């Protein structure tokens, strides 16, 4: 058992492995600088480390053979999908092999009769939704980026629709997994529920590539809603906006999306997305799914709740083009934030608290941000108690980067103190190892037991998610 993450492999070990990988995959084995750089980091922070080798397997068997070779050579293995991770999951911290799964992009089966499908790990969520739309189906998990389903599984992704449809935790029915020693295993199945054995599926969902490589995913799908509508409402302050969300959740209104943008985020979006008729105040974007009558009723109920909490500038967007414009503005918040301070970089952090603590947590966080002098808009999937900070900082200014890092850490600890979690959906990666310990305390030791028994040579994405000592 290697208790500390391995150092970079020696040149001779890499040489030998490269020969074996070339024999296995031929030209789908790359060592060029450009390809290695592309696989050196995700989105978000610019921390980057080059892999020694990048491979592009196309079958379960090829992934298994790659794993066996790496395991025998004790060389790290880092799965890579769309590269949209925000927490450094795909950075090959100790070199080794980056396993690019984008070539595994086939949709293997679609079962409209039972509302499920099976896809390879490299399929992206937009690709999947394009394919199943004609069957009247959609896959609701929407983290913003056009992430791969494999990556979304590995990070337990969620996003704007999770308040109604759940996260990857609820929507993955089963997996094909390659273990570090190269076995190809199936977990779960196609039934909506099962009480048969340990929930290996849920163990791999969110394991961040540290227990094996997810190569295929069986997913739950949903019927496209008969009617869809959106609303926007503005509030005089954060508390009234958040209290509106809490009231809606307690009244069981089955909202499909409920997103909060704070005043600074609205300033960014108004400028970037040319939103007209809105002020720079806390704002909720809402979406409703259901029968036409159900949607109309939900909208009326929400309007009443908004009114009670001092909401204004209420608009209903039932035309698809108006809805698209609103949600495009929501999805473009990252670019909108960058526009607030040209030349700066963005650091994105997320946290999630019990919904009763949300107003407090966001209020304290807003005051904290203001004290730092940094620009950091807040946006959130507030129906789940989940919010994000997009912290702008000058990458050339170590002091500013330090203040940004410290702010992100305080957000994690504040959420934990309020009974929440240091990450609702982005994962631990390499930036939140301390926060994991703060959140889970002695039970992290049980996670270590798990990691050691599943990956005794610590070749799977070493240095991520959990410190082994």
Query: Is residue 465 near its own copies by the rule CB under 8 A?
Result: yes
Alpha-carbon gap, residue 436 to 428, rounded angstroms: 7
Alpha-carbon gap, residue 194 to 188, rounded angstroms: 8
Residues 26-55 that bind its own copies (CB under 8 A): none
Q: Which of 47, 58, 72, 170 binds its own copies (CB under 8 A)?
A: 170
Backbone angles phi, psi at 346, to 5 degrees: -115, 140
Q: Least CB distance from residue 71 to its own copies, whole Å? A: 15
Query: Is residue 169 near its own copies by the rule CB under 8 A?
Result: yes
Q: Which CB atom, from 22 or from 363, has the smaller least distance to its own copies?
A: 363
Alpha-carbon gap, residue 65 to 59, rounded angstroms: 10
Q: What is the DSSP letter of 43?
A: S
235 CB-near residues (< 8 Å, 6+ apart): 241, 244, 281, 282, 283, 284, 306, 309, 310, 311, 312
Q: Which of 294, 338, 413, 468 binds its own copies (CB under 8 A)?
A: 294
3 state SS for 280-320: CCCEEEEEEEECHHHHHHHHHHHHHHHHHCCCEEEEEECCH
Alpha-carbon gap, residue 351 to 366, rounded angstroms: 14
Alpha-carbon gap, residue 463 to 93, rounded angstroms: 7
Q: Measured at the alpha carbon of residue 364, what is the angle toward residues 359 and 369, in degrees to the nearest 5?
A: 125
Size of the residue set binding its own copies (CB under 8 A) = 94
Q: Least CB distance from residue 185 to its own copies, whole Å? A: 4
From 267-275, 309-317, 337-345, 445-453, span contacting its own copies (CB under 8 A): 445-453
Query: Is residue 200 near its own copies by the rule CB under 8 A?
Result: yes
Query: Is residue 466 near its own copies by the rule CB under 8 A?
Result: yes
Q: Least CB distance from residue 462 to its own copies, whole Å? A: 16
Residues 94-123 that bind its own copies (CB under 8 A): 111-116
Site string for its own copies, 296-315 (x = CB under 8 A): -x---x--------------
Local structure of 225: helix, strand or coil: coil
Residue recorded with tokens 């954060």: 238
Q: Which of 106, 130, 192, 271 binds its own copies (CB under 8 A)?
A: 192
Reduced to 3 DSSP states, what percent helix, strand and coil does the chain have, rounded to the nearest 5? Answer: 40, 20, 40
Alpha-carbon gap, residue 328 to 324, rounded angstroms: 6
Query: Is residue 133 near its own copies by the rule CB under 8 A?
Result: no
Q: Least CB distance from residue 320 to its own copies, whole Å? A: 19
Q: Which of 18, 25, 107, 185 binds its own copies (CB under 8 A)?
A: 185
Site string for its own copies, 248-277 (x = CB under 8 A): -xxxx-x-----------------------
Local structure of 410: helix, strand or coil: helix
Query: Is residue 193 near its own copies by the rule CB under 8 A?
Result: yes
Local structure of 187: helix, strand or coil: strand
Q: Least CB distance from residue 422 to its own copies, whole Å? A: 5
Alpha-carbon gap, residue 384 to 415, rounded angstroms: 13
From 8-16, 151-159, 275-283, 334-342, span contacting its own copies (CB under 8 A): 151-159
Query: Is residue 352 near its own copies by the rule CB under 8 A?
Result: yes
Give the pair of three-digit tokens for residue 439.
């959140």
Chain center to CA of 2: 29
Q: Which of 71, 167, 240, 281 binds its own copies (CB under 8 A)?
A: 167
H and E: helices and strands count for the chain: 17, 18
Q: Which CB atom, from 17 or from 205, has the smaller least distance to its own copies?
A: 205
Residues 375-404 that bind its own copies (CB under 8 A): 384-386
Q: Which of 40, 153, 160, 187 binds its own copies (CB under 8 A)?
A: 187
Q: Which CB atom, from 341 or from 444, has the smaller least distance to its own copies?
A: 444
Site string for its own copies, 206-235 (x = CB under 8 A): xx---x----------xx-xx---------
Q: Which CB atom, from 353 or from 375, has the smaller least distance to its own copies?
A: 353
Alpha-carbon gap, residue 428 to 89, rounded angstroms: 8
Give the pair of three-digit tokens for residue 166.
């759940």
362 forms beta bridges with none
Q: What is the DSSP letter of 384?
A: G
Query: Is residue 452 near its own copies by the rule CB under 8 A?
Result: yes
Q: Least CB distance from residue 382 to its own copies, whole Å? A: 11
Alpha-carbon gap, residue 377 to 97, rounded angstroms: 37
Q: Least CB distance from residue 219 to its own copies, whole Å? A: 13
Query: Is residue 190 near its own copies by the rule CB under 8 A?
Result: yes
From 27-35, 180-188, 232-240, 271-279, span contacting its own copies (CB under 8 A): 180-188
Residues 402-441 that bind its own copies (CB under 8 A): 415, 419-428, 432, 435-436, 439-441
Q: Which of 229, 260, 317, 355 binds its own copies (CB under 8 A)?
A: 355
Backbone angles phi, psi at 217, to 5 degrees: -135, 130
């Amino acid at each position: 058992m290697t208790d500390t993450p391995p150092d970079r492999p020696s040149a001779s070990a890499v040489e030998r492995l490269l020969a074996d990988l070339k024999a296995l995959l031929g030209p789908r084995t790359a060592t060029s600088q450009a390809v290695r750089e592309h696989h050196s980091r995700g989105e978000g922070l610019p921390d980057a480390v080059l892999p020694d080798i990048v491979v592009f397997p196309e079958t379960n068997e090829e992934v298994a053979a790659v794993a066996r070779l790496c395991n025998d050579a004790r060389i790290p293995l880092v799965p890579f999908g769309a590269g949209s991770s925000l927490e450094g999951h795909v950075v090959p911290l100790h070199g080794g092999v980056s396993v690019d799964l984008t070539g595994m992009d086939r949709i293997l089966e679609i079962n409209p009769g039972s509302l499920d499908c099976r896809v390879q790990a490299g399929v992206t969520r937009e690709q999947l939704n394009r394919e199943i739309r004609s069957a009247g189906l959609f896959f609701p998990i929407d983290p913003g980026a056009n992430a791969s389903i494999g990556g979304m599984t590995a990070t337990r992704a969620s996003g704007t629709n999770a308040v109604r449809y759940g996260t990857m935790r609820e929507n993955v029915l089963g997996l094909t997994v390659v273990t570090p020693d190269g076995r190809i295993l199936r977990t779960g199945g196609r039934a909506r529920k099962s009480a048969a054995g340990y929930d290996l599926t849920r163990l791999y969902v969110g394991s961040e590539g540290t227990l094996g490589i997810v190569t295929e995913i069986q997913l739950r799908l949903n019927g496209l809603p008969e009617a869809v509508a959106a609303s926007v409402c503005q509030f005089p302050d954060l508390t009234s906006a958040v209290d509106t969300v809490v009231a809606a959740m307690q009244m069981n209104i089955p909202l499909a999306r409920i997103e909060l943008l704070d005043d600074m985020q609205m300033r960014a979006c108004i400028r970037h997305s040319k939103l007209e008729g809105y002020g720079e105040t806390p704002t909720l974007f809402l979406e409703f799914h259901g029968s036409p009558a159900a949607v109309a009723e939900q909208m009326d109920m929400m309007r009443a709740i908004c009114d009670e909490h001092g909401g204004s500038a209420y608009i209903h967007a039932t035309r698809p083009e108006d809805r698209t414009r609103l949600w495009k503005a929501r999805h473009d918040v990252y670019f909108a934030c960058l526009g607030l301070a040209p030349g700066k970089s963005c650091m994105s952090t997320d946290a999630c608290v019990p919904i009763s603590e949300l107003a407090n947590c966001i209020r304290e966080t807003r005051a904290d941000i203001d004290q730092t002098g940094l620009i950091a808009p807040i946006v959130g999937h507030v129906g789940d108690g989940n919010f994000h900070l997009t912290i702008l900082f000058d990458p050339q200014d170590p002091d500013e980067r330090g203040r940004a890092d410290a702010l992100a850490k305080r957000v994690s600890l504040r959420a934990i103190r309020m009974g929440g979690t240091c990450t609702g959906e982005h994962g631990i990666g390499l930036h939140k190892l301390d926060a994991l310990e703060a959140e889970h305390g002695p039970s992290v030791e049980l996670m270590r037991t798990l990691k050691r028994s599943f990956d005794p040579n610590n070749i799977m994405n070493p240095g991520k998610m959990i410190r082994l000592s």
